[in-house]
Chain A
Amino acid sequence: MVKLHNVMIKGTKDGLLLHLDDRCSFSELLNELEDKLLPHQQVNDDSHVLNVRIHTGNRFLSKNQEKKIKEIVGHKKNLQIESIDSNVILKKDAERIKRESEIQVITKIVRSGQILNITGDVLLIGDINPGGKVMASGNIFILGSLKGIAHAGCLGNEEAVICASKMSPTQLRIADCFTRAPDREEDKPQEAECAYVNDAQQIIIDKLIVLKKIRPNLNRFVEGGL
């Protein structure tokens, strides 16, 4: 049986959707893509720019292959690639995504001069001593005293929060914002607190209970029930 279409083009209200078949060879796919897009050039020459979403099914595209497809589509002036999607990703990427969405539990005292660097969220059971530092691309939760430096969302996530049973940090950083301890030690309440970035790009330290309102997304683990 000869398959007729390796490339299917669908028009949607947002633009074009290209379905690329995942069974044929890549060169076949490229040829057909080129053939199919060619006539469009004449028709749509002066019209407005169309967004193109490409779906590659179960085919994994290497960077190089992705570049080739972008070249072909990019030749048409009025087409602009919005996204290239696939059902499959590299194991390496999958592991990274998994790590980023997991909470890593670590039991240790982060002492002066030590830096704990975590991808994703971290639950530290222990203290961060003055001079110690914890960095995480996600949120930081500390069951213990935070006396050193905590940097949440260190890759730029301003939504990240820092929670600690005892919050008396030398410095707090969230994404690019930072705050430091007041010069005079006030009497701190002996209760758990959280820190987040408000709309004015300032780090606010508040009671834990406000988190539910401010960062509802933290509840991602709860499914159904609660």
Chain B
Amino acid sequence: MGEAIVITSGKGGVGKTTTSANIGTSLALQGKKVCLMDTDIGLRNLDVVMGLENRIIYDLVDVANGRCKLHQALVKDKRFDEKLYLLPAAQSSDKTAVTPSQMKKIVDELKQEFDYIIIDCPAGIEQGFQNAVAGADQAIVVTTPEISAVRDADRIIGLLEKEPMDPPRLVINRIRTNMVKRGDMMDVDEVTNILAIELIGIVADDEEVIKASNIGEPIAMNPNSKASIAYRNIARRILGESVPLQHLDDASKGMLTKLKKFFGARV
């Protein structure tokens, strides 16, 4: 029996879909059987980020309305032999095309077959959100270190606490180290002080992420990027490993600085 994790944020554009794609990919790389589920009906993206857009035959709404069997709608990602599947959202309907109870039924069915179901939630707190959380056992809230995103995340956490699921966990996305250093961006502590939930990962702002999603290859597949390691660490924490948080500030330092540090000089 698998576990369903909803990835949500309240505010749009903070990286729910990217996070869903990369956590799903990382879990699959760890050998788990994963189904990514896009619930953003009408504005689907997850298929594009995963590079699976051209393989979609049926979608979530078709399954909900019984126009096809669940397994017919699942798109297999051939890069991860039999480990990663996508249940795409419909692009032509809207959020009211499915109900929370239909969603719960689909998620429950998927849980029989998969280890993890990663549910990509649409922005907002309306029916789309209700649909996405209906079948979930756990929630991960994504925010960026901006006041508006944190405010919306706080609202979402309040709503999630009313749902019958484990307390939500937090991913802080797109941290810009140099801005934090200058004091122009909230740091990790400020965000966790306000939201007061368990932090499951921090992801630095990385141009590679955008490049990767544009070519339909989640960054987590590239082991050399900082963001990739961050996502893989999140996946390992989901699996129950205790992995220390990444240091955000040593990436930009050159060889000379490292040498100086090695010889104990003041940097």
Binding site for B on A (CB under 8 A): 109, 111-114, 127, 129-132, 147
Q: Which of B23-31, B151-159, B251-259 contacts A (4 or more CB under 8 A)?
A: B151-159
Is the beta-carbon distance between A131 and B154 smaller than 8 angstroms? yes
Alpha-carbon separation in the docked complex, A111 to B194 (Å):
9
Alpha-carbon separation in the docked complex, A132 to B151 (Å):
10
Alpha-carbon separation in the docked complex, A14 to B82 (Å):
93
Is the beta-carbon distance between A113 and B194 smaller than 8 angstroms? no
Known: A112-B154, A113-B155. 11 other contacts (CB 8 A): A111-B158, A111-B161, A112-B151, A112-B152, A113-B159, A114-B158, A127-B196, A130-B151, A130-B194, A131-B154, A132-B158
Tally of B interface residues using CB under 8 Å: 10
Alpha-carbon separation in the docked complex, A112 to B125 (Å):
13
Alpha-carbon separation in the docked complex, A136 to B179 (Å):
41
Is the beta-carbon distance between A131 and B196 smaller than 8 angstroms? no
A147 CB contacts on chain B under 8 angstroms: 194
In the assembled complex, how far is the CB of residue A52 from the closest CB belonging to chain B, in whole angstroms? Answer: 54
Is the beta-carbon distance between A131 and B151 smaller than 8 angstroms? yes
Alpha-carbon separation in the docked complex, A132 to B194 (Å):
12
Binding site for A on B (CB under 8 A): 151-152, 154-155, 157-159, 161, 194, 196
Overall SS of chain B's interface: helix
Alpha-carbon separation in the docked complex, A113 to B157 (Å):
10
Could you name 28 residue pairs across A and B whose Cβ atoms are closer than 8 Å? A109-B196, A111-B154, A111-B155, A111-B157, A111-B158, A111-B161, A112-B151, A112-B152, A112-B154, A112-B155, A112-B158, A113-B155, A113-B158, A113-B159, A114-B158, A127-B194, A127-B196, A129-B154, A129-B194, A130-B151, A130-B154, A130-B194, A131-B151, A131-B154, A131-B155, A132-B154, A132-B158, A147-B194
In the assembled complex, how far is the CB of residue A46 from the closest CB belonging to chain B, in whole angstroms? Answer: 68
Alpha-carbon separation in the docked complex, A147 to B196 (Å):
14
Alpha-carbon separation in the docked complex, A127 to B154 (Å):
12
Alpha-carbon separation in the docked complex, A131 to B155 (Å):
8
Name the residue in B152, B157, B194 with the highest tally of chain A Cβ atoms < 10 Å from its Cβ: B194
Closest residue of A by beta carbon distance from B160 = A111
Q: What 4 A-B pairs have minimum CB-CB distances, sorted nearest first?
A: A111-B158, A112-B155, A112-B154, A113-B155
A114 CB contacts on chain B under 8 angstroms: 158
